[in-house]
Chains A and B, each alone.
Chain A
Amino acid sequence: MSKAVLVAGVVLCILGALAVPDASAQSLSLYVIYGILALSLVMVWGWGGIFSFGQTAFFGLGAYAYGVVGINVGNSEWAGPLALLGAIGCGAVAACALGYFMFYGNVSGVYVAIITLASTLVLLTVTSSMADPSYRLGDAIIGGYNGMLGIPGMSLPGIGYLDARQYFLFCVGVALSVALAFRWIRLSTFGRIVFAVTDNETRAQLLGFDVRAYKLVTFVMGGAVAGLAGALFASWALFISPVVFGLSQAALLVIWVLVGGRDSILGAFLGVYVVQRISDYLGEGGGSYTPIVLGSLLIAVVLVVPGGIVPTAMKLAASRTPKNWRRFVSQTNRIRRDAATDVAVGLHLGPSSNEDHALRTAGLEKSFGGVKALRDVSVQCPEQGVLCLIGANGAGKSTFFNVLAGRLAATKGSVFLGGEDITRLRPDQRAKRGLGIKLQVPCVFPTLSVWDNIWLAAYSGLRQSDAATDQTAAVLQRLSFDDSLDISTPASDLPHGAVQWLEIAMVFAAGPAVILLDEPTAGMSHDDTYRTADLILELGQHSSVVVVEHDMDFVRTLDSPVVMFHEGAVFRRGTLAELQADEVVLDVYMGRGATA
């Protein structure tokens, strides 16, 4: 979508809003408010991958906060804006408290859904039980299941209370602002990282992004917007009751977003419009079948069109579907890449500072139950250059890597990076300090494009958006990626060999001080293996590279010091030639039958 289309869309929205007859303004306001609420779930669920049923909790809290602040400020044109701010703050604070416990406790998928849903239902119990007039905040009586009465309508300084038409325009203005802000966030560096975290949490963490913090910030923004929608709802209805915390309200929100498509800004509003029109239509006949139709709609969407009704319908209606944003980002970046290559940009390899970055372990041990996978491993990696780890399957090489990267906690002993003890740090903290790892199994961002994968890796090292773009262009040029390979291809569509290359490109782009490569050539052709060896040697001129390999020809090509693991311990050190001359080594590993 180009800037011109966007501007035209916004202008059209405003003109459309102005053209709405007074009689419809009131009912359409509600659609817009619900659209804002749906938008908050699009951000949290569609983008952040957080399956939150708690958006209606923040919506309800925002509505009650608006009531409490509005009633207490009393008859002033400032009541509306102040109450609105109070509601946004209330939603954000509640989301922050709940989010902290969930994300910093590493609570995952379904548990998030259960906790948010349970919290919402507890709010239902609590607000319903506060029927006694003694439950009040200042002048505002909570009102229990009867709800809070006497909530003031929206007022603005200089205008006073808004009439139905002004109020509708106000809602449209707020909705447009939120939608544009969301669009900006989605295309920002922060938005890309949020998508990356959703796509592959492990990879994001190994690139040094604090996954928990990104989730929390996303959740808090969603909470704030839900609170805002709640405030608008309270100022629309002039009344709020515990029903907002009920299961049906929570379900309704999920249905809107599912119908409109989970990750579409426009879809949020379309979903609300479609579903509410259906509800209104059914409601004319008494409405007793409405929940049954909505429940069936929910089941039907899940079973038949998991992508959402509106997006699927749009795809069917026109094969020329608007490209999704990732493609868009790739294309704009491609233009930048072309610009960048004109000015032959240098590739940044290795750490930017000259600090000591050598990786060292001292007496490292790791036990799984009674099994000792690592025993007393003390290895000193060179500050620059390549070190090879060899050893039979089960010798402890991958365990060693996982302990180094922080994916497994050491039972005993320490890991040092430079002078710093990093034994107790999380994977992302280690990555931030310059430790990069390529896992044995491919680990990329599957739905993101090749360009975005490399860009995120580059950004993780440089922490600067434009520099990352230049670095990405330089990496693509340096690795001379096949020209037939479209860099806007999602990583999941790549053949296996290309994924290996992509991962190596990501390591190049991130330029960490210490690089751990677990079987980089597994499944590669002979030529590619030698090309990889050259690349690794080049990396080794700037960084410390530790390679696990089974291919002895490859290890010989690297011509580097070798550490051999056997039964979880360092068995031999030396050059490959020395090891191959060693009778015992030949016995235990290199193919002369095992001895115990």
Chain B
Amino acid sequence: MAGDQLVNLVLVLLVSVSTLVLVSIGLAVVFGMMGVINLAHGEFLMLGAFGTILGYRAGLSLWIAMVMAAIGVGVLGLVVEALLIRHLYGRLEATMLATWGLSIILVQATVLIFGASTQGVPTPLGTWRFGQYSTSEYNLVLIAMAVVTLIGVYLVFTRTRYGTIARAVTQNPEMAAALGVNSARVNRVSFAFGSALAGLGGALLAPLVGVVPNMGQAYVARAFMTVVVGGTDVVLGTAMAAGLLGAVDSLVSNLFEPFIGSVALLLTAIVIVRVLPTGLTGRLRGRS
């Protein structure tokens, strides 16, 4: 295998892994910290992408539009937490159903506002050529952003006051409450933080994919599989699961066809869950 071919293969693989990281980290934060499954996660991604397009069309620089979109989705997360999630704590099934209802509403509301047609922003930056191959420089930004996001989340959970308290609430809510922690407030922040990360993921994908109201559907299954396979450790779990599933997806897609890659990803995930029901990092923490 020639050098440039190898580099290309590695790049394709890294983009696939990074995409998985970016679309699932927000879900992983919400699930890992609150034990809540947000079925509207795909729509939060979609809104991040639409927010970016809106900001860009309004004349903002693309990068600022992305940040604004992420913050916007984070604020939406606060509202959703207050209206829905808060009333359903401890009722996992009910939370899933309610956020599913939200997902349907968000898709249709977006259709009504923006129409069902595909929107997009031009891919920024130039093209990087190596040997016979070339790639968009934006792909390199995507990979870097996945790494930066993972490190950022890690730092938030280990180096900030909120992060330490949030982990304490996750591990032992009664003890945390006994020590005077307001777990409702911590959960509110966690949900908003996870939502903002989802928005950021969608924003970063906006230049690469066709942005349509039902685009969440395309990513949400993969995000769920990544979170389930990753287990309860948000950063390590997401990184490991995205690495494994992204590699399987991109290699199989490369060998056969993209949809066979999706099938391989699902089968890998199901087999891993069969063998390790609590995910790759489930045993590290011992939290069921």
Using a CB–CB cutoff of 8 Å, the interface residues on chain A facing chain B are: 51, 98, 101-102, 104-111, 113-115, 117-119, 121-122, 124-126, 128-130, 246-248, 251, 254, 258, 288-292, 294-299, 301-303, 306
- B138 at interface (Cβ–Cβ under 8 A)? no
Determine whether the beta carbon of A295 is less than 8 Å from that of B103.
yes
Chain B residues numbered 85-119 whose CB sits less than 8 Å from any CB in chain A: 87-88, 92-94, 96-98, 100-105, 107-109, 111-112
Determine whether the beta carbon of A296 is less than 8 Å from that of B101.
yes
Alpha-carbon distance between A119 and B107 when the two chains are bound, in angstroms: 21
Determine whether the beta carbon of A126 is less than 8 Å from that of B228.
no
Inter-chain contacts of A251 with B (CB < 8 A): 100-101, 103-104
- B221 at interface (Cβ–Cβ under 8 A)? yes
Main DSSP-derived SS at the B contact region: helix
Determine whether the beta carbon of B274 is less than 8 Å from that of A101.
yes
Determine whether the beta carbon of B221 is less than 8 Å from that of A295.
no
Determine whether the beta carbon of B217 is less than 8 Å from that of A124.
yes
CB B231 to nearest CB in A, in angstroms, measures 11
CB B38 to nearest CB in A, in angstroms, measures 12
- B262 at interface (Cβ–Cβ under 8 A)? yes
Inter-chain contacts of B227 with A (CB < 8 A): 114
Determine whether the beta carbon of B84 is less than 8 Å from that of A299.
yes
**17 further A-B pairs in the complex, CB-CB below 8 A; given A124-B217, A291-B104, A299-B84:** A101-B273, A102-B273, A102-B274, A117-B221, A119-B266, A119-B270, A122-B265, A125-B262, A126-B259, A130-B259, A247-B220, A290-B108, A295-B101, A295-B102, A299-B98, A302-B94, A303-B84
Number of interface residues of B (CB under 8 A): 45
Alpha-carbon distance between A288 and B93 when the two chains are bound, in angstroms: 28
Inter-chain contacts of B66 with A (CB < 8 A): none
Chain B residues numbered 217-246 whose CB sits less than 8 Å from any CB in chain A: 217-218, 220-222, 224-225, 227-228
Inter-chain contacts of B109 with A (CB < 8 A): 292
Among B94, B97, B224, chain A packs the most CB atoms within 10 A around the CB of B97
Inter-chain contacts of B221 with A (CB < 8 A): 117-118, 121-122, 125
Inter-chain contacts of A295 with B (CB < 8 A): 100-105, 108
Determine whether the beta carbon of B102 is less than 8 Å from that of A299.
yes
Contact of A302 among B97, B257, B271, B274 (CB under 8 A): B97
Contact of A125 among B92, B96, B259 (CB under 8 A): B259
Chain B residues numbered 26-51 whose CB sits less than 8 Å from any CB in chain A: 37
B259 and chain A: residue at smallest CB distance: A129
Using A248-B104, A251-B100, A294-B104 as known contacts, say yes or no to A115 and B217 having CB atoms under 8 A apart: no
Alpha-carbon distance between A117 and B27 when the two chains are bound, in angstroms: 15
Determine whether the beta carbon of B266 is less than 8 Å from that of A303.
no
Determine whether the beta carbon of B37 is less than 8 Å from that of A107.
no
Determine whether the beta carbon of A288 is less than 8 Å from that of B266.
no
Alpha-carbon distance between A111 and B270 when the two chains are bound, in angstroms: 10
Determine whether the beta carbon of A298 is less than 8 Å from that of B259.
no
Alpha-carbon distance between A373 and B184 when the two chains are bound, in angstroms: 36
Determine whether the beta carbon of B277 is less than 8 Å from that of A101.
no
Inter-chain contacts of B277 with A (CB < 8 A): 105-108, 111
Inter-chain contacts of A115 with B (CB < 8 A): 228, 269-270, 273
Using a CB–CB cutoff of 8 Å, the interface residues on chain B facing chain A are: 37, 84, 87-88, 92-94, 96-98, 100-105, 107-109, 111-112, 214, 217-218, 220-222, 224-225, 227-228, 257-259, 262-263, 265-266, 269-271, 273-275, 277
Determine whether the beta carbon of B97 is less than 8 Å from that of A298.
yes
A247 and chain B: residue at smallest CB distance: B217
CB B216 to nearest CB in A, in angstroms, measures 8
Using A110-B37, A119-B266, A295-B102 as known contacts, say yes or no to A306 and B92 having CB atoms under 8 A apart: no
Determine whether the beta carbon of A298 is less than 8 Å from that of B104.
yes
Can you name 9 A-B pairs with beta carbons within 8 Å? A98-B270, A107-B273, A111-B273, A115-B228, A247-B220, A295-B101, A299-B84, A302-B94, A303-B87
B279 and chain A: residue at smallest CB distance: A111
Alpha-carbon distance between A503 and B265 when the two chains are bound, in angstroms: 46
Inter-chain contacts of B94 with A (CB < 8 A): 302, 306
Among A115, A128, A248, A290, chain B packs the most CB atoms within 10 A around the CB of A115
Alpha-carbon distance between A254 and B262 when the two chains are bound, in angstroms: 25
Determine whether the beta carbon of B101 is less than 8 Å from that of A105.
no
Alpha-carbon distance between A175 and B112 when the two chains are bound, in angstroms: 38
Inter-chain contacts of B218 with A (CB < 8 A): 125
Using A101-B274, A118-B266, A126-B263 as known contacts, say yes or no to A246 and B104 having CB atoms under 8 A apart: no
A119 and chain B: residue at smallest CB distance: B266
Using A121-B221, A122-B221, A299-B102 as known contacts, say yes or no to A104 and B274 having CB atoms under 8 A apart: yes
Inter-chain contacts of A118 with B (CB < 8 A): 221-222, 224-225, 266, 269
CB A48 to nearest CB in B, in angstroms, measures 14
CB B158 to nearest CB in A, in angstroms, measures 23
Contact of A111 among B217, B228, B265 (CB under 8 A): B228
CB A315 to nearest CB in B, in angstroms, measures 20
Determine whether the beta carbon of B98 is less than 8 Å from that of A302.
yes
Alpha-carbon distance between A248 and B217 when the two chains are bound, in angstroms: 10
Alpha-carbon distance between A288 and B112 when the two chains are bound, in angstroms: 7
Alpha-carbon distance between A109 and B257 when the two chains are bound, in angstroms: 33
Inter-chain contacts of A109 with B (CB < 8 A): 92-93
Alpha-carbon distance between A294 and B98 when the two chains are bound, in angstroms: 11
Alpha-carbon distance between A224 and B262 when the two chains are bound, in angstroms: 25
Contact of B105 among A119, A291, A301, A306 (CB under 8 A): A291
Using A118-B224, A295-B102, A302-B88 as known contacts, say yes or no to A258 and B217 having CB atoms under 8 A apart: no
Inter-chain contacts of A119 with B (CB < 8 A): 266, 270
Contact of B100 among A108, A111, A130, A254 (CB under 8 A): A254
Inter-chain contacts of B112 with A (CB < 8 A): 288
Among B93, B107, B220, chain A packs the most CB atoms within 10 A around the CB of B93
Alpha-carbon distance between A110 and B232 when the two chains are bound, in angstroms: 13
Alpha-carbon distance between A115 and B266 when the two chains are bound, in angstroms: 9
CB A574 to nearest CB in B, in angstroms, measures 39
Inter-chain contacts of A130 with B (CB < 8 A): 259
CB B227 to nearest CB in A, in angstroms, measures 8
Alpha-carbon distance between A126 and B260 when the two chains are bound, in angstroms: 7
Alpha-carbon distance between A413 and B271 when the two chains are bound, in angstroms: 31
Alpha-carbon distance between A251 and B106 when the two chains are bound, in angstroms: 14
Contact of A117 among B93, B104, B224, B274 (CB under 8 A): B224
Contact of B93 among A51, A98, A104, A124 (CB under 8 A): A51
Contact of B111 among A288, A294, A301, A302 (CB under 8 A): A288
Determine whether the beta carbon of A121 is less than 8 Å from that of B273.
no
Inter-chain contacts of A106 with B (CB < 8 A): 277
Alpha-carbon distance between A296 and B98 when the two chains are bound, in angstroms: 9
Alpha-carbon distance between A133 and B144 when the two chains are bound, in angstroms: 40
CB B281 to nearest CB in A, in angstroms, measures 15
B37 and chain A: residue at smallest CB distance: A110
Alpha-carbon distance between A414 and B222 when the two chains are bound, in angstroms: 43
Using A117-B221, A298-B101 as known contacts, say yes or no to A105 and B108 having CB atoms under 8 A apart: no
